[in-house]
Structure 1
Amino acid sequence: MRYKPEYKPQKRLELLSITGQIAKKNGFAATGVDGFMQAAGVTSGTFYSHFSSKQDLLKALVEYELQQSFNMWQSNPHDNAKDWINFELERYLSSSHLEHPEQGCVLPALASEVARADDCIKQTYEKELLRGHALFTQHLGCENKAWAMICQLVGAISISRAIHEPALQKSILEANKMLLQSYLDPAAA
C-alpha cells in the first residue's frame, strides 16, 4: 500500500504527541518502546521506521515537547509584562497542570531524565529551553528574572506532584504564585 508523501511526517508527529503524553505521565525510562507503540496503536516495527533508537525518540520528544511549551507561552494574549506574567502564573501553577502531567509542560516531567541522558539530548534540551528563556526575558526585561521564573514554575509543579495531600499541593502552588508576583512586581507585595 502506498502512502501519501505527508503520511510519514504526520505519523511521526502523532507518535511524538502520544509518546510525550505517556512519558510525561509515567516516565520515559519506565516505559519501553512496546509500551509507547501500544499506546499509539501501532507495532514496534512502526517505531523503527521513525526512530533509530529509544534515545533518538527521547531527543525528538524533547524537541517536540519544548516546542509545544514555547508555542503555548507565545500564545499568551497579553503584551504588557504584568498581565503576561499573571496569565502564565495562573496557567502554569494550576490544578489542571498539576493533575494532568500528560497534558502539561515537559520540563517538570522529564528534566531529571534529560539530566541522565547523553550530551546530544542535553544539548537539544538546552537549545530549546534557551528559546523559551528568551521569550520570558523579553517579557520580564531581565535574563536572571526569566531563569528564576522558569525554575520556580517547574519546581513548584514538581514538588506539588510529589505531595499526597491535595490541600498542601494547592498551598504550594498559591505560595509560589504569591512569591513570584511579589518578586517580579515589588509594588504588588
Structure 2
Amino acid sequence: MALCYGYCSDYHEKKRKTDHQEAHEDSKKTIKMHEKRHTKQKNDGKTPQGAVPAYLLDREGHIKIYSNRKEKEESMERIVTKACCVGDGFTQKPPKYKRFIRTMSSCVKKTHVTHPELRATFWGASVLSICQVTIRGVITKGIVLEVNTSELGLATQGGKVIWGKIWQVTNNPENDGCMTVVLLL
C-alpha cells in the first residue's frame, strides 16, 4: 500500500469500485424500463385523498393568506403567488394600505414574442394590457394579452407601424420565470 498525500488511504480503491458499479446500475435501469413498457397496468380509478376538481384548482392557487395573527379568517392581507401584470407607472403602497400584496419578482413587464409567420422569437416586447378579465391581473397559461409590437417592425399595408397586437401566453410564467407569447392570427 503506497502513501497518497492529500487523499484518504482507500480513496482510489473506492473510486474504482463506484465507477465499476455505475455501469451495472445503468443496465439495471434500462432493463426495468423495457420490462415496464410491455406490461399493461390496471387503472383502479380511485381518486387520491384531497383531490380538487379542475374548476376549483384555478380559484385556490392565486393567493395565500399573509398574517401574523391567530385569526386567519379575519386577516385582510393576501399575497398573490402567481405572475401578474402591472403597468409602467406602478408603485407599491405600504402593506398596511393594500389588500393584495404583489411581490415585484412575480410582476411581468416584458415577454418573449414568437411570430408564427416570421418564424422568429423576439425578446423585450412590453405588455400593454390584459384582454381577458382575470382575477387581480394574474397571468397564467392561455391568457390573452395586448403586447407592444412597435419594436418588431410590423406595419400595415398603408405603411403605418402597428403599435399593439393580441397575443396568447403559451407557458406557465410563475414556474419558468419568463413569459412566452404567440400571435393570435
Relative to the length of structure 2, the TM-score reads 0.24
Bigger relative contact order, structure 1 or 2 (CA pairs below 8 A, ≥6 apart): 1
Structure with the largest fraction of helix: 1
- CA radius of gyration, larger in: 2
Relative to the length of structure 1, the TM-score reads 0.24
